[in-house]
Amino acid sequence: MGIFDHFMNLRAVYIHLGWFQISITNLIVVLGMLVLFGLALFLPFPGNKKKGQK
Euclidean distance between CA atoms 28 and 42, whole angstroms: 21
Residues 14 to 43 in contact with another protein, rule: CB under 8 A: 29, 32-33, 36-37, 39-41, 43
Q: Which one among 11, 16, 50, 51 touches another protein, defined by CB under 8 A?
A: 50
Residue 12 touching another protein (CB under 8 A): no
Q: Which of 31, 11, 15 is nearest to 23 (CA)?
A: 15
**CA Rg, the chain, in Å?**
20
Q: Which residues bind another protein (CB under 8 A)?
A: 29, 32-33, 36-37, 39-41, 43, 45, 47-48, 50
